[in-house]
Amino acid sequence: MSSRPGRHFLQIPGPSNSPDRILAAMAKPTMDHRGPDFGIFGKKLLNDIRGIFRTKQPVIIYPSSGTGAWEAALVNLFQPGDRLLMIETGQFATLWQDLALRLGLDVEFISGDWRRGVQPEEVEEKLKADSGKTIKGICMVHNETSTGATSRVFDVRKAIDAAGHDALFLVDSISGIGCADYRHDEWGVDVTIGGSQKGLMTPPGLGMNVIGPKALQVSQAGGVRRSYWDWAAMLELNSGGYFPYTPATNLLYGLREAIDMLNEEGLENTFVRHERLASAARQAVQAWGLEMQIEVADERSNVLTAVRVPDGCDADHVRAVILKNFDVSLGNGLGKVKGKVFRIGHLGDFNEPMLLGTLAAVETGLRLANVPHQSGGVDAAMRYLADTA
């Protein structure tokens, strides 16, 4: 590969760009993960990460992908044959369901068209129909990265309560944490699944489970035989800042820096920044005359925007043209929307010039790829950013 000037624009919706501060932190020498200094470091890290999830409950950090964190939550709580209610909002909700099925769980999957978030009234209806309380858990994705839908977690909690159901409530917020408002305790979530590589701006490799008291109680007598994913083993060692096996030490250095950066900006300010940049991106898409994958405005994510190309066009071709000509990577369509959408990530370590550069590359790429559209998307975004400065 030949050298290209400037920095590559990684505008997929995760992994997100890791800022220089985090990369520099990760470059520090690896410390002894059984020594006293690590215990001090680990104990403070495990305490401070709670603030990012808005919780007072323990946060377990695995050396894993988000998929591992999915599995950890399921094997600590459920046994083969246990019945789960899961909701289809896109590719990642579907993959979580597939994982549950492979573990031998009985999944009722509320089907969706990938153009909406979770509909709380559908959850309430299903739970009210479960008169025998056979459903043991409800699993949903907070921010569906494949479509750009953000679901109303608290409204789903209220639907569970309105149905008078005692099923555990599990939420995947891997791409929501650090980008969109999320409150584990206040919203009554039993287990939250997180990951390092999106709003936490750290390279992939850390999966997280936030464990509420009800879930912890169930895990002590439930679940299946497990070792690597065992909450009990992690919690025992975590109390002193340590881990039951070798942790991803240098990734934890990066996560430590990410927590500091989010706290320096202030979480509320971080959420406002993401909302503002997302709104500017949506202004551009509307000006181009293109359609967003998510139909309801209130459900459109502040993490990414999935853009539908007109019939007869190939979204992957558009992405290839933009990458070749401008060194900008956009997210591809997954599953049911493969070739139909491209995804613009506007998350993590991201600001106005980065957004405008990305949108300019997209608008020019649409022209080069002969996609029917109107010009003026970048101008619309610029006007919005000026008006809201």
pLDDT of residue 10: 96
Residues 37 and 102 in one domain: yes
User: What's the pLDDT tens digit per position in 111-159?
Assistant: 999 999 999 999 999 999 999 999 999 999 999 999 999 999 999 999 9
From first to last of its 389 residues, the chain has per-residue pLDDT tens of 678 899 999 999 999 999 999 999 999 999 999 999 999 999 999 999 999 999 999 999 999 999 999 999 999 999 999 999 999 999 999 999 999 999 999 999 999 999 999 999 999 999 999 999 999 999 999 999 999 999 999 999 999 999 999 999 999 999 999 999 999 999 999 999 999 999 999 999 999 999 999 999 999 999 999 999 999 999 999 999 999 999 999 999 999 999 999 999 999 999 999 999 999 999 999 999 999 999 999 999 999 999 999 999 999 999 999 999 999 999 999 999 999 999 999 999 999 999 999 999 999 999 999 999 999 999 999 999 999 99
CATH number of 361's domain? 3.90.1150.10
Q: Which of 214, 232, 263 is the last residue in one of the domains?
A: 263
Q: Which of 229, 263, 297 is the last residue in one of the domains?
A: 263
Is 76 among the domain residues? yes
Residues 316 and 251 in one domain: no
pLDDT of residue 12: 97
Is 186 among the domain residues? yes
Is 2 among the domain residues? no
pLDDT of residue 2: 73
Is 257 among the domain residues? yes
Report pTM.
Answer: 0.97
pLDDT of residue 1: 60
Say how many domains are in the chain.
2
Residues forming beta bridges with residue 304, ordered by sequence position = 345
Give the whole-angstrom CA distance, residue 293 versus residue 341: 7
Give the whole-angstrom CA distance, residue 285 versus residue 306: 10
Task: Write out the residue range of the structural domain in which residue 169 sits.
Answer: 20-263
- Please measure the distance between the N-terminal and C-terminal CA atoms of the chain and give it in whole angstroms: 40
pLDDT of residue 365: 98
pLDDT of residue 306: 98
| Residues in contact with 89: Cβ distance below 8 Å, sequence separation at least 6, in sequence order | 112, 114, 116, 117, 118, 140, 141, 144, 147, 149, 151
Give the whole-angstrom CA distance, residue 287 versus residue 275: 18
Residues 219 and 286 in one domain: no
Residues 59 and 175 in one domain: yes
Is 3 among the domain residues? no
pLDDT of residue 91: 98
Q: Which of 215, 231, 263 is the last residue in one of the domains?
A: 263
The three-point CA angle 98-63-27 to 5° equals: 135
pLDDT of residue 388: 96
Residues 149 and 33 in one domain: yes
Is 178 among the domain residues? yes
pLDDT of residue 257: 98
Residues 219 and 74 in one domain: yes
